[in-house]
Amino acid sequence: MPKKVPVRLRVNGEEHELHLPPQRILLDVLREELNLTGTKRGCDLGTCGCCTVLVDGEPRLSCLMLAKLAEGHQLTTVEGISPAGALHPVQRAFIDLGATQCGFCTPGFIVTAVAFLRDHPGATRDEISRALSGNLCRCTGYVKILDAVEAAARTLAPAQER
């Protein structure tokens, strides 16, 4: 029987009490134990960005993080980015401007972009492309992703100015 330790995770505002081997990776726990399958596994090695989640609001790669070390932090997955029934402006823009094709990279981009725009409302296209440079997309060539985040930045900027 593998050794297990208690792991208490707070994901999208909900507490989860789990018993897990200490070597369990956060991505695996989100997907397999908590059924939060919106967070995707593209490489498992930090090289694609599909597994991005927010840890205390910061985008981090869940495939490189031990679940046990996520204790005491607020975790947000793509499922928790917007309140039920509503869409975040970034999500809205992704839909309207064609920024998702196969959709597999999309949760990672959404989560990264939401956090970035929160800290940098009104960011320029260059700043956005740098901020998203840890996420790979094979379908869109990024053009419409950048369009969408730029458009969302414009929507968010006036709202967040004082």
Partner 1 sequence: MAGTSSRKSGSAGTPRPSSAETDLVKEAEATRASSGYHLIGKRTPLIDAALKVTGRAEYTDDIKRPGMLVGRLLKSVHPHARIRSIDVEEARRLPGVAAVLTGDRYPTPFGVLPMTHDETALAVGRVRFLGEHVAAVAAVDEETCERAFELIRVEYEPLPVYDDPKVSREPVPVKIHDRALRDTNLQKEVFQHFGDVPKALEGASQKVKLSGKYLGVTHGFTEPHCTIAEHTPDGRLTVWSATQVPHYLHRSLSEVLGMPMHRIRVVKPEVGGGFGGKSDPFPHEIACAALAIETGRPVKVLFDREDVFYLNHGRHPTQNDVTVGVDGDGKFLAMDIDALLDGGAWSSFGVVTTYYNGVLAMGPYRFDNFRYHGARAYTNHPPSGAMRAHGGTNMRYTVESVVDEIAARMGFDPIELRLQNFLPPNFKTINEFRITSNSVRQCILAARDRSGWEEKFRKLPYGRGIGVACGFYISGSNSPIHFTPVFPQCTVHLKADMDAGVTIHCGAADIGQGSKTVLAQVVAEVLGIRMDRCRVAPVDSDTAPVDLGSYSSRVTFMMGNAAKAAAENLKVPLLQAASELLEVPPDRLEASEERIHVKGRPSQGVPFHEALHKAMETKGALVASGAYSTKPLGGTFKGAKAGTAPAYSFSAYVAQVDVDLETGFVHVENVWAAFDCGRPLNPLAVEGQIEGSIHMGLGQLLSEGLSYRGARLMNPSLLDYKILTPMQMPKVECLLVGEDDPEGPFGAKEAGEGPLVAALPAVGNAIYDAIGVRLMDLPITPDKVLRALEEQRKKGGAVRPPAPTRPSERTPTHGGR
Partner 2 sequence: MHLDAFDLHQPTSVEEALALAQRHAGKFDFLAGGTDLIPNYKMHLNVRPHLISLDHVAELRSFRPEAGWLGATVRLRNLEGSSTLIRRYPGIAEAAEEIATPLVRASGTVGGNLLVETRCFFFNQSYPWRQALGFCLKADGDQCHVVPQKTRCYATFSGDLAPALMVLDAHAEIAGPGGRRRVAVADLYDPKGDGVRRTKLGPGELLVGVQIPPGAEHLKAKYSKLRVRPSFDFPELGVAVALEEKGGKVARLEIALGGLETYPRLMKAQTAPLVGEPLTEERVKALSEDLVKAVRPVHNTFLAPDYRRKMTGVFVRRAIGALRSGS
Residue 46 touching ligand FAD (CB under 6 A): yes
Stretch that binds ligand FES, among 28-36, 47-55, 88-96, 113-121 (CB under 6 A): 47-55
Residue 20 touching partner 1 (CB under 8 A): no
Residue 89 touching partner 2 (CB under 8 A): no
Q: Which of residues 129-158 bind partner 2 (CB under 8 A)?
A: 130-135
Mask for 58-87, x = binds ligand FES (CB under 6 A): ---x-x------------------------
SS (H, E, C) the chain: CCCCEEEEEEECCEEEEEEECCCCEHHHHHHHHCCCCCCCCCCCCCCCCCCEEEECCEEEEHHHCEHHHHCCCEEECHHHCCCCCCCCHHHHHHHHCCCCCCCCCHHHHHHHHHHHHHHCCCCCHHHHHHHCCCCCCCCCCCHHHHHHHHHHHHHHHHHHCC
